[in-house]
Structure 1
Amino acid sequence: MTWQEKIKDFEIFLRFERNFSENTLDAYIRDIRKLKEYSEESLDNIGPDVITYDHIQQYIFLLSKQKFSERSQARWISSIKAFFKYLVEDEIREDNPATLLEGPKLGLYLPDTLSLPDINRIINAIEVSTDLGKRNQCIIEVLYGCGLRVSELIELKISNINFNEKFIKVTGKGDKTRLVPLADYTSELLKNYIQDVRSKNKINKKHEDCLFLNSRGTSMSRVIVFLIIKELTDKAGVNKKISPHTFRHSFATHLLQNGADLRYIQEMLGHSSITTTEIYTHLKTEELRDVILNYHPRNINITQ
């Protein structure tokens, strides 16, 4: 039995029995392949059926010294635990060497958000006089205006946009679909992009229904969207570490700040649990705290 063989079996298990999303699946398999490489290079290529807790603990220790974030470390351990639990269930091993692994204690994760002025600065940095700029403007406006994940953005289909009723049908994690409202402004931008820009492209037949296309007439990759945002952020002089997900966080935060009900935000984001959405209430609490510290007379008197 080889690592490669069991990693392939594990991938099939996660994909078809656990129904993992492509992004989560890729992360888990990548983590186990790193453990495989460690085994090959440092443990005389011992197999997954005989590797021990001490081996894995040493591997995790070495990784932790490479300045990876605590969240990354927690995911490695989650991946490794899932892999060896699978091997036990598949009767490849009788024991689980990962049972006693403990991940780092994670504090409350508050995602980065952008202010509306920052978002406008990024959008204003786009050269909308070009077709490429018009496409990129639409990408940013859909990320921010609809709160999409980048994977949902690049998989958007024209046939899933209802311009009459002003909503888009989005396929999210676990192939769950949801309806996200389209603001009139975003709807008009999309109409103009489809009619005036996208129609000029030479489109690959397999991608005729894809909304956003690259220069080859095929669907865009996640990497390209990241690069577009990085270039625009640098150009706009916004000094924050920004990803496509930052616009999703900003979408939710701005809705909450303006009085939207948390349950509606949950539906629009496609969160299966309200607990996930509640992170944005912590952001609002942080904002209220800043207001008190900066503007309450008692605090002003103390700091002056």
Structure 2
Amino acid sequence: MDWQTATKGFANYLKLEKSLAKHSVEAYGRDIEKLYQFFSAKEPMLLPLEIQKANLKDFLEWINHLGMLATTQARILSGIKAFYKYLVLEDFLQQSPAELLESPKTIRKLPDVLSVNEVEELIAALDLSRPENTRNKAMLETLYSCGLRVSELINLRLSDLFLDDEFVKITGKGNKERLVPIGQTAIKSIQIYRNQVRNHVLIAKGNEDYIFLNKRGSKLSRTTVFTLIKDLALQIGLKKNISPHTFRHSFATHLIEGGADLRAVQEMLGHESITTTEIYTHLDRDFLKQTIREFHPRS
């Protein structure tokens, strides 16, 4: 089996059997492309099924010498393990040569988080005399109320709203659906936007069901949301490096600080593993330490 046949089969497996999104399939493809490039230069005759653990160790040393971050190296290794797992599942191999390879040690960097006051300040900085800011307010309130990824926000549809029941249906990574509660403030902002602004937009064909639209009546881009948040941070003089994801981090942190159950937060964020959600418990510990320092008589 040559590299082209193996990678094409792997891509179809990810798409059809694992139901991964297009960009995830492409990311895995890039990982295997790096592997192919390495062996094309070093051992051109070596085929995917002939590669041994020692060969893969050479590849990992190579990407390490390139100066890649440990997190990037770990992600590439994860892609290679998935590739060889596929080859084993399809009975092309008896055992994966990547099975016992260890990921490089990564340091978990705690994300920047907004305080409740900072969230309020950012939203209050919107000039609501401009129609697009009525939309932007609804957008930021939804982002913070539901802890959404930016891709989930811009792809949110009218048919996903169950506002009478205070829920929205979110389609997350790998097209997995989840129901997330939505607060009254966000509901009110969405209703005002729909009734006062969206109703007057000439909607482009194929975009009728998307909630948040640009002036041309099309679905918003990720860049629009990033730019909006950067501009608002500049406007209020916020020194933190923030993005749409900061609202998601803040949503999770504020819930856990308030005593929310970790598994409930995991469900709302759409994390497959509880360990991904556990990063917010570290943030919570910082909050607890600060509380002790401020309020304990013996601190």
Residue by residue over 1:99-120, the C-alpha shift from the partner in whole angstroms, topping out at 9 and shown as x without a partner, is 3432112345544321122223
Deviation at 1:10, TM superposition (A): 0.8
**Residue identity in the other structure for 2:122:** I
Query: Structure 1 residues 263 and 206 mapped into 2: Cα distance closer, same or farther (>3 Å)?
Result: same
Tell whether 2:114 aligns with 1:114.
yes
Query: Structure 1 residues 228 and 11 mapped into 2: Cα distance closer, same or farther (>3 Å)?
Result: farther
- Secondary structure at the aligned position of 2:240 is classed as coil
Deviation at 1:274, TM superposition (A): 4.6
**Residue identity in the other structure for 2:250:** S
Q: Distance in 2 between the 1:116 and 1:255 partners?
A: 11
Question: Aligned pairs, how many?
Answer: 299
Residue aligning to 1:28: 28
Tell whether 2:104 aligns with 1:104.
yes
Residue aligning to 1:144: 144
**Residue identity in the other structure for 2:25:** L
Residue aligning to 1:207: 207
Q: Distance in 2 between the 1:7 and 1:61 partners?
A: 22
Residue by residue over 1:259-292, the C-alpha shift from the partner in whole angstroms, topping out at 9 and shown as x without a partner, is 3344443343334555543433332112212333
Residue aligning to 1:76: 76
- Decide whether the 8 Å contact of 2:210 with 2:219 is kept in 1: yes
Residue by residue over 1:26-84, the C-alpha shift from the partner in whole angstroms, topping out at 9 and shown as x without a partner, is 43223223333444456548543444544433333333345443222211111111112
**Residue identity in the other structure for 1:130:** R
**Residue identity in the other structure for 1:164:** D
Q: Distance in 1 between the 2:74 and 2:157 partners?
A: 35
Ranges in structure 2 where 5+ consecutive residues have no aligned partner: none
Residue aligning to 1:195: 195
Deviation at 1:134, TM superposition (A): 2.6
Map 1:1-304 to 2 at 5 A.
1-22=1-22, 24-40=24-40, 43-44=43-44, 46-93=46-93, 96-108=96-108, 110-293=110-293, 296=296, 298-299=298-299
Q: Distance in 1 between the 2:240 and 2:43 partners?
A: 41
TM-score (ref. length: structure 1): 0.82
Q: Distance in 1 between the 2:42 and 2:221 partners?
A: 35
Residue by residue over 1:103-148, the C-alpha shift from the partner in whole angstroms, topping out at 9 and shown as x without a partner, is 1123455443211222233324434332333322222211111111
Deviation at 1:216, TM superposition (A): 4.1
Between stretches 135-144 and 277-286, larger displacement belongs to 277-286
Deviation at 1:293, TM superposition (A): 4.4
Between stretches 30-39 and 5-14, larger displacement belongs to 30-39
Ranges in structure 1 where 5+ consecutive residues have no aligned partner: 300-304
- Secondary structure at the aligned position of 2:138 is classed as helix
- Decide whether the 8 Å contact of 2:127 with 2:133 is kept in 1: yes
Taking only the aligned residue pairs, the percentage that are identical comes to 44
- Secondary structure at the aligned position of 2:15 is classed as helix
Q: Distance in 1 between the 2:65 and 2:237 partners?
A: 33
- Secondary structure at the aligned position of 2:193 is classed as helix
Query: Structure 1 residues 57 and 152 mapped into 2: Cα distance closer, same or farther (>3 Å)?
Result: same
Deviation at 1:208, TM superposition (A): 0.6
- Secondary structure at the aligned position of 1:205 is classed as coil
Q: Distance in 2 between the 1:187 and 1:228 partners?
A: 21
- Secondary structure at the aligned position of 2:202 is classed as coil
CA RMSD, Structure 1 to Structure 2 (Å): 3.0
- Decide whether the 8 Å contact of 2:168 with 2:180 is kept in 1: yes
Query: Structure 1 residues 58 and 124 mapped into 2: Cα distance closer, same or farther (>3 Å)?
Result: farther
- Secondary structure at the aligned position of 2:165 is classed as coil
**Residue identity in the other structure for 1:244:** P
**Residue identity in the other structure for 2:61:** F
Deviation at 1:161, TM superposition (A): 1.3
